[in-house]
Each structure stands twice: as structure tokens, then as C-alpha cells.
Structure 1
Amino acid sequence: MKLIYQHMLGFLCVILTSVAIIGYAELDYMKNSVYEQNFERMNSYARTIGQIVTSEKNSTDAALDDNFLSQLQFVLRGDHVNFRIYNSKNQQVYPVTGEQTRLSNRVFSMMRKGSEIHIRNNQQSSEMGLTKLAYTGVLVPWRDSNKKLLGVIWIGSTVRNVERPLVTARHNLINAFIVTLIVGLILSWILAYYSTNKIKKLSNATKKVAEGDFDVQIPSKGNNEIDQLAGNFNRMVRKLKQSNEEVKAQEERRDQFMADAAHEMRTPLTTINGILEGLKYDAIPEESKPKSIDLMQHETKRLIRLVNENLDYEKIRNNQIMLYKAEFNATPVLEDLRAQLTHNAQNANDELILTVPKELPIYADRDRFTQIMVNLVQNAIQFTHDGKIEISGKRFEHATELKVKDNGIGMSPEQTKYIFERFFKADPSRARLGTGESGLGLSIVSSLIKQHGGKITVESEPDKGSTFIVTIYDQGYEQFITKENS
């Protein structure tokens, strides 16, 4: 069954059930009221007749002549009222018929005690005998001032006459029920359509998302649960779109990396294979063999570096390395780094400047700190030619800040967004110098800094250079470390 019909059925059931309960309660109340009013009326008649009877010498025989009772019956018949009278000996004295009826011993005993009995339907009660028509009435004893039983009167009206207002009320209730059914159908359809229309929009939007359309958005202006669901759906789609774009970007960078890696590995492998064949067949002159061996060693180191960077990144990303953190002076490490990389900087016609105090305390793993700074400086050399690269450092409260600033090609905001992701290259078309050709250098830097409980940021503008800012906190002040999942 469709949801709209389920909602309609639910609304309709609630409406009709409510009407049925109210109608039943009203009819039951009205029925009880009608019978109570009839009992009061019959009691009034019975007492009035009793007063007439008991006023004549405290005896029923004096006043109960047939002529008087027949006239009384004629008057009451216009009000659909009939009665029977029994004397103190439980003998029916009016109306006089061929076969006289008597009250049961139990009932007559109750009359002696002065009890009154209300009978709703004599055809459903054992207190009175059966009649052609169903009657409802009362049995009332007449007693004198000494509480002596003088007689009993049964006076009643036909059930049909008493329940005539109930029949009218039932007809009115049926008409109201039919009208309510029609109006309920219309209202339930409107309410169900309003509710299910939003769900239908959600269903269609979900189908589009499943087909790869992440531009779907559902209007949500209200504050009900469905509007909240629509709002959550919109946020989910935006996140999915962002994730999908990032996945695509990762795939593109991975494909580019595989192509670059294949190209970079093919060149040294081809060189090594050629030299080995030359050595095998003595095709290389004796004086050229040392140079050829050096070339093979250089190309082999390139392959080892490419593999090691990948293995190193995986270990760092999965927290499989141990950091041996201690406090030391970072200045000597930075001076050694400048001496080590000055040759690479000169090859690019760059000036390498170090601006640090004599004492620059830092709490870190010395080897991994060196690895971080080497990667950052190598990255700056790679994208700076005929420029300046400045390494600076200073202390803050509970932290050490280091900067690597260059005036190279710089980056756009879109490039800085992904610069620390695996395989990303800001300018893959440029010639590569030293390390960094795999697109893993800055990813390793970011992972190592996070494992130190530090942070790294970048400021860059195209053609104006870049500045990488590293903050390493003192012991006990590290930031919360999260395991990378990228």
C-alpha cells in the first residue's frame, strides 16, 4: 500500500473512531436519561394514584372501582401509559381479566418491605409477565401510615414510545457519521498529501544521489521532523559532493603519481640495464667503467628513495614509527641543514639564509625534526630559482615556531588546500631537484608534525612565494593528535 493511502487510512480511522466513541457515549447517556425521566414520570403517576387510593379509609377496595380506573386508564392511554393494580393479597384487581396474574413471591416480598422496582423492558425481566408489546415502568407499593401494605401498582409505557427520541438521535448520528466520513476523506487526503509529498521529494532526491547527482537540494522551511530530515539530507549531499570531489582529485593525483613513478623508474632502470649489458659484453671501455658504476649507483639511489618515501609515509600515517622526543637546541641542527643543502640551492641559483637565535629550545624527535626541515627546504628549493630562501625560528610561550620562506612560484588558494595531501604536486610540469618528485614530501611533513602534537600552516600567493610555518609545542602542551585516514 502506498504511503499516502496509509496516512489517509490512519487519519480516517482516528476521525471515525473519535466520532463513534463520542456518538456511542452520547447515545448511552441519552438512553439512560430517557429511562430515568420515564421512571420519574411513572413514579409520579403511581404516587398520585396511591394518594387517591389511600385517602379512602386506608383501603384499596373503597376507591378502586372499575369505572374510576377505566376513566383513569383512558386518560393515561393518551400518554401511552398502562397500569395494573394488585391488592394486599397479591391478587390483580385491575384490569379484571379472565386469567388473573400474580406477582412472584420474591417481588411481592420486596413490595411488603416498601421497595420500588424499576423495569426497563418487561420482556427482558422476570419481575413482570410478558406482554404483546415491550413495556418499561415501575412497581410501587402502597402502604398506610402504619407501613401496612395496601396494594401494588405496576405502571409503565411502551419501550417504543420511550425510545422514540433515541431512534431520532440514531438517525442523526448516522447522518453525522456519513458527513464525517466524506469530510474526513477530504481532510485525510489533504493531510496525507502534505506529509507524503515531502517524503516523495526526499525519495526522488535520494534516487538522484544514488545515480551520482550531488547537486540535489530539497527546500526545507519548517521545523517539523520531515523538514529537519530534509535539512540533514542537504548537508549529507553537500558532504558527499565534497568527498566525491576529493576522491576524484585523489584519484587524479594517484594516476599522475603512477605515471610519474613509472616514468621515473623506467629511466634509471633503462640506464642500469644498459650499463649492465655493456659490462656483460665488454662494450664499455675500461676507463669509463668507474663512471658507469657511479651512474648505476646514482640511479639505484633514486629508485630506493622513491620506494622509501612511500614506505616511510605509510608507517607515519599508521603511527607505526616511534618518536624519541627530547628537548634540544634546534640552532645547530638548522646550521647543519643549511650546510647540507647549500649545494642544491646554488644549483638553482638560490640564496639560503638562516635567521635563528643562538639558543632555540625545542621538544621533538631530533631525527624526525631534521627530516621535517629538510623536506620543507628541499620543497622551497624545488620551486624557487634565482631567489631567496629564508629559514627562521623563534620562541613563544610553551612553543617553538619555525618558518621556511621563499619567493618562488607560489601557489593558488586551491593548491594550498591540497598541498599536504598524498601525491599532490603544485607544479608537476617543472623539473625536479633532489627529493620531492613523488609528491609525498609535504604529506610526510604534515604527518610527522601532527604526531608531534604540533601544527603546520602555509601562506602563499602565485608568483610571490610561499611561507611554511611550523609550530612545535613544549612537553605537556601538545595539541590533540589524531590518526590520519587520508
Structure 2
Amino acid sequence: MKLIYQHMLSFLLIIITTVSIIGFSEINNTTQQSYEYNYRRMEDFAAALGTLATNDKKDGAAMLNPKFLNKLEFVLHSDRVYLSVFNAHGSQVYPQRNDKIKLTSHRLRQLKSGKKLRIKNNNEALSSLGYKKDACTGVLIPWKDKGKFIGAMWLGVRIAQVERPVRIAKQNLFNALVSAIIVGLVLSLVLSYYSTNRIKKLSIATKKVTAGDFDVQTHYSGHDEITQLADNFNRMVRTLKKSNQEVKEQEKRRDQFMADAAHEMRTPLTTINGILEGLQYDAIPDKAKPKSIALMSRETKRLIRLVNENLDYEKIRNNQINLVKTRFNARKTFDDVTMQLKQNAAKADDTIFITAPQNLPVYADKDRFTQIMVNLVQNAIQFTANGKIEISGYRIAHATVIMIKDNGIGMNQQQIKYAFERYFKADPSRSRSGKGEYGLGLSIVSSLIKQHGGKISVQSAINQGAEFTIVLFDQGYEQYLED
């Protein structure tokens, strides 16, 4: 069943239930009031007739003579009141009937004790009153003279006459119920359409998102649950759009890496294969063989470096390396890295210098710390020409801060955002030989620092260089973060 019909049915059920409860309560109240009013009216009649009979008699039996009863019958006829009179023995003396009607001994005892009996339906409740074609309701009143029971009088009216207000109330209830159903049907249709139409719009928006349209936004006003759902939907779509863009960027960089890797691997493999064929067919002169073998060795190492960087990154990312962290002097590592990369820097006409105290304690895995510094300095050399590369460091409370700063090509905000992601290159056109050229160096650095419980950040601008800042905390103060 569609939601709009469910809403309409719910509204109608509520309206019908409410009207029915109120209506039936009113009918029950009207019924009770009608019977109560009739009982009191009959009792008042009986009291008045008893007074009349007492004033009109010469002795106690005079009130039961036919002449007096005919007077009563004439008086009551205009009000359509039935009259029956019983003597002290419970026998009906008026009106005369062929079949003798007599009160039961139980009823007679109740009357002799002075109790007034209210009979709701003489055809059901008290058969001794005699069955009538039209059921009556009324009272059975004892007559006494000077405290002596001399008979009883039955005064009643037709039940149909008493229940006339009830029939009117039932008709009114039916009319109100029909009106409520009609009005409720219209209102429920309007309200249901309003609610389901908002949900339908969300459903249409969801289909668009499923089809790949992440620019969909719903606009609802109010503070109800559907508005909250729409707001959550809008936030979800914005997040999906952002994630989709990031995925596309990742795929773009991955495709670029595959193209670069294929190119990088094809060149050395072609070189190695050519040299091997030349050696096989003795096409290379003896004087050129040492140079050819050296070239083949360099190309082989180039391929090994590409493979190793990928394997190294996967191990680090999956926490498959064991860090042996100790406290040592980082300044010595700075000096070693500077000596190691001095020739690479000279090829780019770069100068590496250190501005750090001679004793700079740091808590880290020494080999991995060296790897971090090599990758960062090599990255600075790769994107700096005729420039300066500064390695600096200092202590803060419970941590060591290290910075590698260059004045190279720099990065824009979009490049900074993805700087530590795999296969990212700030400027692929300027890749040089050496570690980091495949876009893995900074991602390895980021993963290693996270495993150390440290932090890394970068500040940069186009043509104004870049500054990488590392914070490595002392033992017991590490800040491990999930990816």
C-alpha cells in the first residue's frame, strides 16, 4: 500500500474512532437520561393519583373500584400512559382480562415492604405484568392506606416513545459520522499529499544521486522530521560529491602513475634488452662493454628502486614493520643525510645547510628516521633548482620539531591537499632521477611519522618553496591517530 493511502487510512481511523467514542457515549447518556426522566414522571403520576384516591375514598377499598379507575384511565389517556391495578393479593383488577394476571410472590413481597419497582421492559423483565404488543417501561408503585398494603399500580409508557430522543441522537451521530468521514477524507488527502509529496521529492533526488548526479540539493523549510531528513540528505550528497571527486583524483593519479611506471620500466628494460642482445651477438666492441654493463647496472637498480618503493610503502601502510625506537641525537643524522645527498644537490645547483643545535635529542626508530629525512630532502632537491635547502630543528615541551625548507617551485592549495597521498607529484614534468620521483616518498614519510605517533604538515605557495614541519614526541607522549 502506498504511503499516501496509509496516511489517509490513519487519519480516517482516528476521526471515525473519535466520533464513534463521543457518539456512543452521548447515546448512552441520552438513553439513561430518557429512562430516568420517564421513571420519575411515572412516580410523580403515581404519587398524585395515590393522593387523589386517598382523598376520594370512604374506605380503603374505594380506590380500587371500577368507577375510580375509569377516572384514572381517562386522565392518563391524554399522556398515553398505561395503567394496571393489582389488589393486595397481587391479582390484576384493572383492566379486566380474560387471562388472570398475578404478580409473583417475590414482587409482592417487595411491594409490601414499600419498595418502588422500576421496570425497563415489561415484556422481558416482569412477565407477570402481562405481555403487550408494544413493549412498555414504567414503575410498579405500592398503595397503602394507614400503613396497610391494599394494592399496587403499574404506570408505563411505550418504550418507543421513551427512546425517541435516543433515535434522534443516533441519527445525529450517523449524520456527524458521515460528515466527519467526508471532511476527514478531504483533509487526510490534503495532509497526506503534502507529506508524501515531500518524501517523493527526496526519492527523486535519491534516484538522481544513484545515477551519479551529486549536485542535487533539496530545499525544505520547517523543523519536522522530514526537514531534518532532507538536511541530512543534503549533507550526505555533499560528502558523496567530495568523496567522488577525491576518488576521481585518486584514479587520475593512479592512471598517471601507471603510465609513468610503464614508461619508466619500458626505458630501462629496452636499454637492458638492447645491451644483452648486443652482447649475445657480439655487436658491442670490447672497449664499450664496461660502459654498457655499467649502464645496464644503473637501469637495473632503477627498476629495483621502483619496485622496492612500492613494497616498502605497502609494508609501512599495513603496519608490517617493527619500529625500534630509541633516544638519539638528530643532528648527527642531519649531517649524514647532507653528506649522502650532497652530490644530488650539486647536480641541481642546490645548497644544503643545517641550522640546528649540536645536540638535538629525538625519540624515534633511527633507521626509519634517516629514511624520513632522506625522502624529505630528496623531495626538496627534486623540485628546487639553483636554490637553498635548509634543515633545522629545535626542542619543545616533550617533543622535537624538525623542518625542511626549500625555495623551489612550491605547491598550490590543491597540491598541498594531496601532497602525502600515494603516486602524487606536484609537478610531474620536472621529475628527476632519484628517490621520490614516483610519487611515493612523501606518502612513505607520512605513514612512518603516523606510526611514530608524530605529526607532519606543509606550508607552501607557488614559486615560493615549501616548508615541511615534523613533530616527534618523547616516549609516553605520542599521539597516535587513525587513518
What's the TM-score, normalizing by structure 2? 0.96
| 2:138 counterpart letter in structure 1 | G
Aligned equivalent of 2:454: 454
Alignment partner, residue 71 of structure 1: 71
How far apart are 1:150 and its partner, in Å?
1.8
1:309-324 maps to which residues of 2 (within 5 A)? 309-324=309-324
For residues 426 and 283 of structure 1, the distance between their equivalents in structure 2, rounded to whole angstroms, comes to 42
- Aligned 8 A contact 1:53 1:59 in 2: no
Does structure 1 conserve the Cα–Cα contact (< 8 Å) formed by 2:451 and 2:480?
A: no
In structure 1, distance between residues paired with 2:417 and 2:74 = 108
The reply to whether residue 304 of structure 1 matches residue 304 of structure 2 is yes
Percent identity over the alignment is 59
Is residue 84–residue 92 contact of structure 1 (8 Å, CA) maintained in 2? Answer: yes
Amino acid at match of 1:344: N
Aligned partner of residue 86 in structure 1, secondary structure = strand
1:59 Cα deviation (Å)?
6.1
CA distance in 2 between partners of 1:30 and 1:143 (Å): 34
Shift of 1:129: 2.2
Mapped to 2, the partners of 1:443 and 1:70 lie a distance apart of: 120
| 8 Å Cα contact 1:58/1:144 also seen in 2 | no
Q: Which residue of 1 aligns with 2:142?
A: 141
Distance in 2, matches of 1:145 and 1:216, equals: 98
Unaligned runs of 5+ in 1: none
Q: CA deviation at 1:403?
A: 0.7
Shift of 1:480: 2.8
2:155 maps to 155
Where 1:287 maps in the other structure, the secondary structure is: coil
Shift of 1:55: 5.8
In the TM superposition, what are the counterparts of 1:90-109 in structure 2 within 5 Å? Answer: 90-109=90-109
How big is the shift at 1:123?
A: 2.5
Q: Which amino acid aligns with 1:132?
A: K
Equivalent position SS for 1:375: helix
- Matches for 1:339-350 after TM superposition, within 5 Å: 339-350=339-350
Show CA shifts across 1:68-99 (max 9, x none): 22222222222221111101111112122333
Q: Give the match's secondary structure for 1:429.
A: helix
Work out whether residues 58 and 150 of structure 1, in 8 Å CA contact, stay in contact via their aligned partners in 2.
no
1:131 maps to which residue? 132
For each residue in 1:200-240, what CA deviation from the matched residue of structure 2 results, as whole angstroms up to 9, or x when unmatched? 11100111011000111111322211111111111111111
* Deviation of 1:250 (Å): 0.5
Residue 57 of structure 1: how far off its partner (Å) = 7.5
1:404 corresponding residue in structure 2 = 404
1:404-444 deviations in whole A, cap 9, x for unaligned? 11111111111101111111111111132311121111111
Residues 21 and 58 of structure 1, relative CA distance in 2, 3 Å threshold: farther
The secondary structure found in structure 1 opposite 2:369 is helix
Q: Name the aligned partner's letter for residue 422 of structure 2.
A: R
Superposed CA offset, 1:150-203 (max 9, x none): 211111111111111112222222221121111111111121112111111110
Q: 2 CA distance for matches of 1:180 and 1:467? A: 76
Output the CA distance in 2 between the equivalents of 1:149 and 1:440: 120
In 1, the alpha carbon distance for the partners of 2:30 and 2:150 equals: 36
For residues 146 and 270 of structure 2, the distance between their equivalents in structure 1, rounded to whole angstroms, comes to: 139
Task: Say whether residues 1:440 and 2:449 are aligned partners.
Answer: no
Alignment of 1:118-267 (within 5 A): 118-127=118-127, 128-146=129-147, 148-267=148-267
Query: How big is the shift at 1:12?
Result: 1.1
Matched, 1:370 2:370: yes
**Distance in 2, Cα, partners of 1:153 & 1:342:** 134
Amino acid at match of 2:71: Q
- 1:293 match: 293
How far residue 345 of structure 1 moved from its aligned partner, in angstroms, is 0.5
Task: Kindly provide the amino acid, as one letter, of the partner of residue 139 in structure 2.
Answer: V
Change (3 A) 1:57 1:80: closer
Q: Which moved more, 1:90-99 or 1:53-62?
A: 53-62
CA distance in 1, matches of 2:26, 2:479: 72
Tell me: CA distance 1:80–1:4, structure 2 relative to 1, closer, same or farther (3 Å): same
Structure-1 separation of matches of 2:57 and 2:81: 27
TM superposition score normalised by structure 1: 0.96
Specify the SS of the correspondent of 1:141: strand
| 2:34 counterpart residue number | 34
Asked if the contact 2:92/2:100 (under 8 Å) is kept, the reply is: yes
| 1:289 positional shift | 1.9
Matched letter for residue 287 of structure 1: K
* Structure 1 CA distance for aligned equivalents of residues 153 and 379 of structure 2: 120
Other-structure match for 1:269: 269
Would you say how many aligned residue pairs link Structure 1 and Structure 2? Answer: 482
Cα distance 1:289–1:60, how it changes in 2: closer, same or farther (>3 A)?
farther
Deviates more, 1:69-78 or 1:390-399: 69-78
Structure 2 CA distance for aligned equivalents of residues 290 and 40 of structure 1: 135
Checking the alignment, whether the CA contact within 8 Å between 2:355 and 2:391 is kept in structure 1 is yes
Cα contact 2:53–2:63 (8 A) shared by 1: yes
Is the Cα–Cα contact under 8 Å of residues 52 and 63 in structure 1 kept in the other structure?
no
Per the TM alignment, residue 56 of structure 1 is displaced from its structure 2 partner at its CA by: 6.8
C-alpha separation between the residues in 1 aligned to 2:426 and 2:77? 112
In structure 2, the residue matched to 1:334 is: 334
State the SS of the aligned residue for 1:284.
Answer: coil
Q: Structure 2 stretches of 5 or more lacking a match?
A: none
Deviating more after overlay: 340-349 vs 191-200: 191-200
**Gap change, CA 1:138 and 1:251, over 3 Å in 2:** same
Match of 1:18 in 2: 18
Q: Could you say what secondary structure the match of 1:432 adopts?
A: coil
Partner of 1:123, secondary structure, is: coil
The answer (yes or no) to whether the contact 1:54–1:142 under 8 Å persists in 2 is: no
Alignment-derived partner of residue 464 in structure 1: 464
3-state SS, counterpart of residue 287 of structure 2: helix
**Counterparts of 1:25-64 in structure 2 under 5 Å?**
25-54=25-54, 60-64=60-64
